[in-house]
Structure 1
Amino acid sequence: MNTKQQSLSVIFASIILILLFYSCQKKEDYKEVNTKKSVFLTGEVIPDSHFLGDQKCKECHQNEFKKWKGSHHDKAMQIADSATVLANFNNKKFTSQGVTSHFFKKGKDFYVNTDGPDGKNHDYKIIYVFGITPLQQYIVQFPDGHYQCLRTAWDSVKNKWFDLYPDFKVVHSEWLHWSRGGLNWNNMCSDCHSTNVRKNYDVKTHSYNTKFAIINVNCEACHGPGKQHVTDVDKMGENYVSNGRFQMTSKTEPKELVDQCARCHMRREQYSETFNFEGTMLDHYYPQLLEERLYQADGQILDEVYVYGSFTQSKMYQNDVTCTNCHDAHTLKLKFDGNKLCAQCHVPETYDTPKHHAHPLNTESSKCVSCHMPGRVYMGNDFRPDHSFRVPRPDLSVKYGTPNACSGCHKDKDDVWAAASFTKLFGAVDSVHYSEKLAPGITMQPNAHLGLIELMNEKHQPEIVRASAVKALSNYDVDSFIDEFTKLLKDESAIVRGASVDVLNLINNTDYTAYFLPLLEDPKRSVRIKAFFGLGTLDALSIPKVYQESYQKVKNEFWTHINTNSDFVGTRMKKGDYLIKQGKLFEAIKSYESALDIDDINNQIRVNLATLYYNTQQFDKAETTYKEIIKLQPDYGPVYYSLSLLYAELNRVDGAIEQLKKAQKLMPENIRVYYNLGLLYDKKQDFKQAEKTIITGLKVDNTNESLLYVLAYIYGKSNQKEKAKNIVKKLIDLYPNNQQYRAFLSQL
């Protein structure tokens, strides 16, 4: 697993509180129990002594060990030395984005001289290495237990230094700089690159005391701690019978195996304090849904999202194909080369022919994966295929700008050509794919909400697609669909339930919060915690007695989740949002201010913080914060709009008008800009400018009720009675049930 994917989207990795870490060191009587039937899990940390290491496993499982040795899991993380470092540290220099890094050795140790968090160059000792091919990364130690991954990596195929993100300039003060949160090993990498990780983050000091049982991804990282297993084998000898304690065995059901692998092969948010093999995936993590900037509108990969979100869209997953059908569980390599891999299930005589794929045999174009698994390059040189295994749809590319394998290979052709060629070869598409409903919704096409509502209620569709449709529907008028969302709180899919809670949490109306109460006893921890957040508007004493015990338990789970992930900006913001629900605005301000402490150029934090300052009548701080946003992001229209509302509140009308005019240039489609600007001109008795502004807005939306009403009001106020009457008559025609307009007309 790498860092960039998780850093761009603020994904949540595991953390263990120091208090619990110290206590677990004394718990040598820890018992491994199967708690999958229990709603509330123990949350206990497994002592390192219960992980015996790969050499112990090798004694009985030599063949499996031989396959695993040298694999990407084996080389997931290693101590930096002459045997593990692949890169050239013989006084080599590499320059990218204006930064020169100098790689050299001091005795047996490896060093880099590069820009640090202060923008100046320093010498850093390489402590750990990550991976082997197609690249290897290098980790250095910082104060307070922080370990940071260098942005410059080694291309182990071409044997050269390269920039992981050559087109992405980052300065030293940004969170994404290698020396800061974006490439921090403790929260971005450790959970998946080592075994039995406890991050041990201290929010008060912003420090770590991260521990792990085994440095790499060894046998027990996947199968679970081996101590009890070895004890049982020693005691029972030839009479030993498996008790089902281990994970990822030959008896693991296909979809369950995918969930177990998904722990490290998906973009996700963490909900447990540590991964301790209790429960299921959704007791520890909640996956990233198919959303803009992360996935294409039709669900194809875009940003680094790994495999889970793609594979669970596929027909293969729906038909119980699992990871180990294609990949050897221990070498991680494909079981067969070329089309022979797909021929395990798909008859070659039918599919591996020019009649099917329309390309010459034994060419790159004739490979199944070329059409059905087009991929993207991440981290500079790491090509990863899309695991949704979809049929190319160039017709959707024409409609929504999504990629397709046809024009992806035929670079000299466009999507229109690809769509026509596809139809000529295979005929018109004769079935409806979920993307035909999801893509219009994500790209906000007219009336696309109807397709989203259908999609999220179609039980035969992939769960992650249904949940993503729920999330996409939140881009529309959410209050109009409350009944649709509340119905899904009882859905059999936990991912769908979780997405529905998230959307309902966006609505200011609290009438539906009672629907969350049963979810305090949901079988999945992630859903319970989401529901608790939604209940934040309620006082604990108002929770019905029947739910009080569960409420207190989930309260503990919620705050563990918050404390565990407080080294992420998003979690500090989430804490602030919860405190807002509780009415604790000044505490919420502190939480948002602490988020700026770890990412001081994050404007989303400032937008919310400025609103809090405004709501607590700290107008000077609100104004200063808005101006800081403008300084960092001068083309961000909404901030000018917000600043204008602040000035209007302070009766600084000229300043408010000035900001709204800037907002109008940046957001010419935003009706509220014209509405408020017209009212401000009216306040100054400048009726001509008010009229001109509203008419300009009506060119964007000529039936907008608010604009028409304001225009009629301005005409009436400026003694243009006939114009006012004509506008009011239009309002009555458009909205015949509004008696206010008839009364207005009679007054005129």
Structure 2
Amino acid sequence: MKKFLFLNQKNTVILLITALLFFSCDKTKKENYQNVDNEKSVFLSGKIIPDSHFSGDEKCKECHQQEYKNWKGSHHDKAMQIADSASVLANFNNTKFTSQGVTSRFYKKGNDFYVNTEGPDGTSHDYKIVYAFGITPLQQYIVQFPDGHYQCLRTAWDSVKNKWFDLYPDFKVVHSEWLHWSRGGLNWNNMCADCHSTNVRKNYDESNHSYNTQYAIINVNCEACHGPGKEHVLKAEKMGNDYISDGSLQMTAATPAKALVDECARCHMRREQFSEHFNFEGTLLDHYYPQLLEERLYHADGQILDEVYVYASFLQSKMYQNDVTCTNCHNAHSLQLKFDGNKLCAQCHVPEKYDTPKHHFHPQNTASSKCINCHMTGRFYMGNDFRRDHSFRVPRPDLSVQYGTPNACSGCHKDKDDAWAWKSFQKLFGEVDSIHFSEKLAPGITNQPNAHQGLIELMNDTHQPEIVRASATKVLENYNAQNFVQEYIKLLNDKSALVRGASVDVLSRINNTDYTSYFLPLLEDPKRSIRVKAFFGLGTLSQSQIPEVYQESYQKVKKEFWNHINTNADFVGSRVKRGDFYLKKGNLEKAILSYESALEIDNVNNQVRINLATLYYNNKQYKDAERMYLKVIEQEPKFGPVYYSLALLYAELNRVEDAINQLNKAIELMPKNVRVYYNLGLLYDKKQDYKNAEKTFVKGLKIVPTNESLLYALAYIYSKSDQKEKAKNIVKRLIDLYPNNQQYRNFLNQL
């Protein structure tokens, strides 16, 4: 499967940081940017908890028999098991399964389980199954590779229908791709282990791309959630009936609702890791930062799209805002729902009002009358795993009509469309009687004109869920973040760490460093993830430029930053981030090395390849830059922006004919992109081919008749080719469109 790129077609070139640094030399901390929400910064120890401190579930069982009974056999208990006759559910009786041209044969040798399937070299090999992963609705199988790598097979066992199936049946994956089961996309060490076992240390060594991953207990046992039990057990055994819990354990009945959500979220969210390993120190944002609501991951209104798990969805909900927590619905140990059907929701929502056809307008005691089928729609992931959206929203067919988002009505009535659903909604319920954040977020995510004001309102509305505010902060970047710097600076002191983090991220990407000093107080932010983000934003400063009052914190966060980079160096994104940090430092050579190393672990990542081409160009490695672009074209011949980028390279090298050829190919693939017409016309002008230059500018203006650059270029061509009247007419249009531009009036006078 090819990796599709999502670039701004107006400019596919990285804006390298070359601006001179301007920052405040004030030696005192800014009073408005310290001690956020009265929390103090805590630089955590990062210590590893010895495996011996984890007592094991059998020890817990001695005192907590009912909890153990509930947990036994649960998804947590069966999260990972040694592959044997008791744990393996699939048919290994010399069965075959074929998908995407690859045939896998599953068989046994004695008591061991094997698969013969395509390996990383594109040929079939025999692999021993060492672990079984999960239990229902599917079970995956893990193979041990050299250098400590463990890989999850792409073919899994449907434990409901009792058959083999392809996790991604619609994706053709070549053996050399990162997504191939034998490579990074299905690597257990970095994609699975942290949440499927207890006290995991990934232990990745970038120097030889190897792992020495370790854990205390193979599955998600009691102490994965409650923390190491050694001290707790010793005190309980010593004091007997006089023992009173001292609060040293995690996730207890005394844990506040939102704190409990955060503790569950460690494994139930899509996130970026900021600590070397999870050791129960600090809070969620000291170890991870969640994925925000963005295009391709979530629908424009915040509903789930890609595999994003639960946390960011639940944070959107009114349930979360009103201190409903995970264990209000789920048994903490069995993970099962506490009640069947609408009884679950009736814990809070009066059945006489809501569990009635007067509310849901469907026959009672049918699937259509279930609360979850209207307010918790879902999607299938990994082939057969249906997961519900935990944002608990009212169906909004009107937003579906505008933005193509899902709604429960047309999702259930497959023979109807969104327009029908919206008409029916109005007939049954009238107009929507409340404003939902998605009405402001969706226009921004879908890049609607003038949606920025709604995003700014969301960013600053402290009554909105913080995940929504943080997401709006990031989405505003679609509308040229440089125009909203003051809005972002204000949010650096927001009470929400998610919002602070999103604001730092956006400011760090703007090619302007006038406001860098505002990051300095965030070196002492209460949350490690925010401190690390701030350090990255301060990358343009040398250590000597850091004010004395922040030097100690700077050194501590520097260590946290490099731990974050090195821990995640088995991901392309971390190697790219390291390269971007070196760019901030002005070290182009090290940036190039980092980007090259990213391609080493994902050789078909053309986003990285295009950015690397730009770095080569800036380092005057023109042949290498050309090689990168041509490789992208080889892999993605229908991706228009790469032809545009290659043309710009050729134009800079004065290879005009080559540049013209590439731009013509770009026009074929993205005929609506007026920048391509503009650059192509300029190249024809450079050749003094005024006829083709005129034709090209005119074609572009048919797409966007008021485009300022095209109008000016066309007027210029007419003036050079003795077509003065045509030139005058175009310039008059420019003056009408841009009356404050004196340059156009001067141009007209010259004509």
Sort the TM-score into its range (normalised by shorter chain).
Answer: over 0.9
Q: Does 1:743 find its partner at 2:746?
A: yes
- After superposition, residues 152-231 of structure 1 pair within 5 angstroms as 152-231=155-234
- After superposition, residues 335-346 of structure 1 pair within 5 angstroms as 335-346=338-349
Which residue number in structure 2 is paired with residue 255 of structure 1?
A: 258
Aligned-partner Cα distance in 2 for 1:673–1:363? 56
For residue 38 of structure 1, report the CA deviation from its aligned partner.
4.8
Which residue number in structure 1 is paired with residue 530 of structure 2?
A: 527
Which residue number in structure 2 is paired with residue 450 of structure 1?
A: 453
Q: For 2:492, what is the secondary structure of its paired residue? A: helix
Aligned-partner Cα distance in 1 for 2:131–2:606? 34
Aligned 8 A contact 2:41 2:527 in 1? no
Q: 1:551 to 1:38 in 2, by over 3 A?
A: closer
Q: For 1:608, what is the secondary structure of its paired residue? A: helix
Aligned-partner Cα distance in 2 for 1:718–1:478? 40
TM-score for both structures, normalised by structure 1: 0.94
For residue 689 of structure 1, report the CA deviation from its aligned partner.
1.2
For residue 37 of structure 1, report the CA deviation from its aligned partner.
5.9
Aligned-partner Cα distance in 2 for 1:502–1:265? 23
Which residue number in structure 2 is paired with residue 670 of structure 1?
A: 673
- After superposition, residues 713-728 of structure 1 pair within 5 angstroms as 713-728=716-731
Which residue number in structure 2 is paired with residue 609 of structure 1?
A: 612
Which residue number in structure 2 is paired with residue 642 of structure 1?
A: 645
Q: Deviations for 1:80-101, whole angstroms, at most 9, x for unmatched residues?
A: 1111111111111111111111
Aligned-partner Cα distance in 1 for 2:162–2:324? 37
For residue 115 of structure 1, report the CA deviation from its aligned partner.
0.6
Which one of 195, 220, 243 corresponds to residue 246 of structure 2? 243
Which one of 513, 516, 520 corresponds to residue 513 of structure 1? 516
Q: For 2:625, what is the secondary structure of its paired residue? A: helix
Q: Does 1:659 find its partner at 2:672?
A: no
Letter in 2 for 1:344: Q
For residue 709 of structure 1, report the CA deviation from its aligned partner.
1.9
TM-score for both structures, normalised by structure 2: 0.94
Letter in 2 for 1:470: T
Letter in 1 for 2:82: I
- After superposition, residues 118-133 of structure 1 pair within 5 angstroms as 118-133=121-136
Q: Does 1:403 find its partner at 2:419?
A: no
For residue 713 of structure 1, report the CA deviation from its aligned partner.
1.9
Q: Does 1:683 find its partner at 2:683?
A: no
**Higher RCO, Cα 8 Å, sep 6+:** 2
Q: Does 1:620 find its partner at 2:632?
A: no
Which residue number in structure 2 is paired with residue 590 of structure 1?
A: 593
Q: Does 1:484 find its partner at 2:484?
A: no
Select between 659-668 and 321-330 the one with higher mean Cα deviation. 659-668
Which one of 58, 61, 64 corresponds to residue 58 of structure 1? 61
Letter in 1 for 2:45: T
For residue 703 of structure 1, report the CA deviation from its aligned partner.
2.2
Q: Does 1:43 find its partner at 2:21?
A: no
Letter in 2 for 1:646: L
Aligned-partner Cα distance in 2 for 1:616–1:389? 51
Select between 373-382 and 477-486 the one with higher mean Cα deviation. 477-486
Which residue number in structure 2 is paired with residue 420 of structure 1?
A: 423
- After superposition, residues 492-511 of structure 1 pair within 5 angstroms as 492-511=495-514
Aligned-partner Cα distance in 2 for 1:449–1:137? 44
Q: Deviations for 1:50-102, whole angstroms, at most 9, x for unmatched residues?
A: 11111111111111111111111011001011111111111111111111111
Listed as ranges, the gaps of 5+ residues in structure 2 are: 7-38
Which residue number in structure 2 is paired with residue 287 of structure 1?
A: 290
Aligned-partner Cα distance in 2 for 1:490–1:691? 53
Which residue number in structure 2 is paired with residue 308 of structure 1?
A: 311
Aligned-partner Cα distance in 2 for 1:695–1:506? 35
Aligned-partner Cα distance in 2 for 1:696–1:534? 42
Aligned-partner Cα distance in 2 for 1:272–1:550? 17
Which residue number in structure 2 is paired with residue 26 of structure 1?
A: none
Aligned-partner Cα distance in 1 for 2:369–2:148? 51
Which residue number in structure 1 is paired with residue 115 of structure 2?
A: 112
Q: Deviations for 1:578-628, whole angstroms, at most 9, x for unmatched residues?
A: 111111111111111111111111101101110001111100111111000
Letter in 2 for 1:233: A
Which one of 371, 377, 381 corresponds to residue 368 of structure 1? 371
For residue 742 of structure 1, report the CA deviation from its aligned partner.
2.8
Which residue number in structure 2 is paired with residue 693 of structure 1?
A: 696
Q: For 1:316, what is the secondary structure of its paired residue? A: helix
Which one of 429, 433, 436 corresponds to residue 430 of structure 1? 433
Which one of 111, 135, 139 corresponds to residue 136 of structure 1? 139
Letter in 2 for 1:162: F
For residue 702 of structure 1, report the CA deviation from its aligned partner.
2.2
Letter in 2 for 1:187: N
Q: For 1:124, what is the secondary structure of its paired residue? A: strand
Q: Deviations for 1:147-189, whole angstroms, at most 9, x for unmatched residues?
A: 0001111111111111111111111111000000000000000
Aligned-partner Cα distance in 2 for 1:530–1:485? 14
Q: For 1:179, what is the secondary structure of its paired residue? A: coil
Select between 704-713 and 632-641 the one with higher mean Cα deviation. 704-713
For residue 241 of structure 1, report the CA deviation from its aligned partner.
2.8
Aligned 8 A contact 2:41 2:524 in 1? no
Q: Percent identity?
A: 78
Listed as ranges, the gaps of 5+ residues in structure 1 are: 10-35
Aligned-partner Cα distance in 2 for 1:196–1:181? 22
Aligned-partner Cα distance in 1 for 2:223–2:409? 43
Aligned-partner Cα distance in 1 for 2:367–2:237? 52
Which residue number in structure 2 is paired with residue 471 of structure 1?
A: 474
Aligned-partner Cα distance in 1 for 2:669–2:519? 40
Which one of 298, 301, 308 corresponds to residue 298 of structure 1? 301
Which one of 538, 542, 548 corresponds to residue 541 of structure 2? 538
Q: Does 1:85 find its partner at 2:88?
A: yes
Aligned-partner Cα distance in 1 for 2:355–2:747? 73
Aligned-partner Cα distance in 2 for 1:662–1:551? 49
Which one of 70, 78, 86 corresponds to residue 75 of structure 1? 78
Aligned 8 A contact 2:41 2:525 in 1? no
Aligned-partner Cα distance in 2 for 1:728–1:38? 59
Aligned-partner Cα distance in 1 for 2:315–2:91? 40
For residue 110 of structure 1, report the CA deviation from its aligned partner.
0.6
Matched residue pairs, number? 716
Letter in 2 for 1:87: A
For residue 234 of structure 1, report the CA deviation from its aligned partner.
3.1
| Aligned-residue CA RMSD (Å) | 1.5
Aligned-partner Cα distance in 2 for 1:608–1:444? 24
Letter in 2 for 1:648: A
Q: Does 1:709 find its partner at 2:709?
A: no
